Amino acid sequence: MFETTLNESQSRVDRLLLAALGGLMLFGFAFVYSATMVNETTGVFQQFRELTFPGFFKWLLSELFFKQVIWYGLGTAAAIGLCLIDYRSLARWAMVAYWGSTLLLIAVLIPGIGSMRFGARRWIDLGFFQFQPSEFAKLAFIVALAHFLSRPAEELRRPDVFWKATGMIALPFLLIMKEPDLGSALVMVPCWIAMLLVAGVPRKFLVRLFSLVGVLAALFLVDVLFAPPGWQIKLQDYQKRRLLVYFGVDYVPASGASREDIQRLKRQQLDDSFNVRQALISVGSGGLTGKGWRQGTQNALGYLPRAVAHNDFIFSVIAEESGFVGSVIVLTLYGAVLFTGIRIAGQARDRLGKLMAVGVVALIFSHVFINIGMNIRLMPVTGVPLPLLSYGGSSVLVSLIAMGLLHNVHTYRRTY
């Protein structure tokens, strides 16, 4: 660590960041393998020995852990590619990326283009790849906002600049909410706030903004949790149920509900809290040192639903199999990435670089906090992936591209 800080003015490569990312990818590979290969009788070596090479390759391609490796590869390539061009040149394309991703967000809402899964229209099916525009939109938003805010400090004091910045988040936010994907929409808010703060937008705006957001959020929660049915904001049923589960509020049957309806609700409540409870049991039963790689029973026996074990709930698998020790290693790796990011922001040659770095850091942090938080019931369940660990092409690609941007800022930092 000290070594890198000493050498920071010379080296174009941040070794700590790269090491931390490599570590995360190793973890991701190992546990996506564990989560998806859990019920296979034959492992990779057995397959390799038995199959001809093309057969083996075909088998690999059908397995999620290998697809994850491919995504790591593609993402790393994209990140390296990004580092070759100065971020200041890249930033000229910021608004193109922003509007392009906005178009995609609109496209995904159109039935026929966007494909429906689990009751939400979040994916564009490209056959080999389920493309999730909201992931890319988050990054495009950060770059565009950094570009927008990297203007002279005096201009930032003007209210119209502030309101334009608000408009920039509002558009993708609302489109992502429409899918619906509350989690993905919400992670943009911390990025926005952090970037406004770092850019030097006057405190009075921020204070006002904070109080407004805070009051709205509080009103929203009180409304959803306690208001009589006629007064409630229309949320998707599952979103509301997740919030109720999180806050431990009982489902309230509509007045005049029959006995069966009440029973159905009770059962529903049990079912909905099922994932959360199972995740908690997974994490908890891992104990200090865990049950060992591929030895987790929660996942193997299907209590942790197999549809989510390898993506949104990958942390449960990690925590169950590697215990508190493993969880702390994961946290440390993320910590290294995040604080390197802060350092890079501090050393950036201009405000654009600084803002981009801060935005990326905030983005990664929100994902990590929400995802791990939901595994230990600190946060309600939302479909937010854990960067680089969760299985998923869009998420991995975007995370690595974001890292590429971060490193780009480092590469073209001040050289004094």
Partner 1 sequence: MFIFNQLKRDDPALRLVSVVLLAGLVILFAGLWWVQVVCGREYQSHLETQSFRSVRVPAPRGKILDRNGVALADNRPRYDVCLYLEEMRKAFAADFDARFKYTTNTLRLQREAKRAALGRDLTKEEAKAFRVTMEQRKELSRQARLAVANGITADLGQKLQTSLALDVKRFTNHAASTPYQPFPVMQDLQPQQVARFQEQFAGIPGIDLESQTIRTYPLGSTAAHLLGYLRREKDGESRDGEESYYSYRLPDFRGLIGIEGGYDEKLCGHAGGKSVLVNNLGYRQSENIWQPTVPGYNVTLTLDVRIQQAAEKALASRSYRGAIVVMDTRNGDVLAMASSPTFNPNYWVNGFPPGELERLDNPQTKPQRNRATQDNYYPGSVFKIVVALAALELGHDPNELYTVPAGANGRGIAVFGRNQTKQDQAPPGTYTFLRAFIKSSNGYFIHAGLKPGVLEKVVELGNRIHFGERANLGTMQENPGSFPRPETVRSGWSLGATANLCIGQEKIETTPVQVAVMVSAMANGGKVFWPRLVQRLNSQDPLSNEPEQTVPEARLRDTLGVSAKTMQLVRTAMFADVDDSDGSGFRAKLPGFRIGGKTGTAQVEVIGEDGKEHTTWFASMGGPENEPTPRYAVVVMVENGISGGTTCAPVAHDVYQAIQQLNQPAKSIASAR
Question: Which residues sit at the interface with partner 1, rule CB under 8 A?
Answer: 1-2, 5, 41-42, 46-47, 49-51, 194, 197-198, 200, 260, 263-264, 266-267, 277-278, 280-281, 283-288, 297-298, 301-303, 319, 323-324, 327-328, 331, 334-335, 338-339, 342-343, 345-346, 354, 358, 361-362, 365, 368-369, 372-373, 376, 378
| Least spacing, CB of residue 193 vs partner 1, in Å | 10
| Least spacing, CB of residue 246 vs partner 1, in Å | 14
Q: Token pair for residue 322?
A: 């590697």
Look at strands 130-131 and 120-125 and give their pairing. Answer: antiparallel
Rounded CA separation 259/137 (Å): 46
Say which residue the tokens 């080296």 belong to: 11
Whether the Cβ atoms of residue 140 and residue 191 lie closer than 8 Å to each other: no
| Least spacing, CB of residue 9 vs partner 1, in Å | 14
Q: Token pair for residue 255?
A: 């007045």
Whether the Cβ atoms of residue 316 and residue 326 lie closer than 8 Å to each other: no
- Measured in degrees and rounded to the nearest 5, phi and psi for residue 63 equal -95, 140
Across the beta sheet with 120-125, what order do the strands follow? 114-117, 120-125, 130-131
In this complex, which beta carbon is closest to partner 1, that of residue 3 or of residue 125? Answer: 3
Return the H-helix or E-strand segment holding 121: strand 120-125
In this complex, which beta carbon is closest to partner 1, that of residue 105 or of residue 361? Answer: 361
In this complex, which beta carbon is closest to partner 1, that of residue 130 or of residue 297? Answer: 297
| Least spacing, CB of residue 249 vs partner 1, in Å | 20
In this complex, which beta carbon is closest to partner 1, that of residue 68 or of residue 340? Answer: 340
Rounded CA separation 186/194 (Å): 14
| Least spacing, CB of residue 64 vs partner 1, in Å | 20
Cα 389 to chain centroid distance, Å, stands at 10
Return the H-helix or E-strand segment holding 131: strand 130-131
In this complex, which beta carbon is closest to partner 1, that of residue 130 or of residue 285? Answer: 285
Rounded CA separation 126/20 (Å): 32
Rounded CA separation 48/68 (Å): 19
In this complex, which beta carbon is closest to partner 1, that of residue 196 or of residue 397? Answer: 196
In this complex, which beta carbon is closest to partner 1, that of residue 97 or of residue 362? Answer: 362
| Least spacing, CB of residue 43 vs partner 1, in Å | 10
Look at strands 114-117 and 120-125 and give their pairing. Answer: antiparallel
Alpha helices by DSSP H, 39-158: 44-50, 53-62, 64-84, 87-90, 94-109, 133-149
In this complex, which beta carbon is closest to partner 1, that of residue 68 or of residue 322? Answer: 322
| Least spacing, CB of residue 290 vs partner 1, in Å | 9
| Least spacing, CB of residue 234 vs partner 1, in Å | 23
In this complex, which beta carbon is closest to partner 1, that of residue 98 or of residue 334? Answer: 334
Return the H-helix or E-strand segment holding 380: none
| Least spacing, CB of residue 395 vs partner 1, in Å | 19
Sign of CA dihedral 87, 89, 95, 99: negative
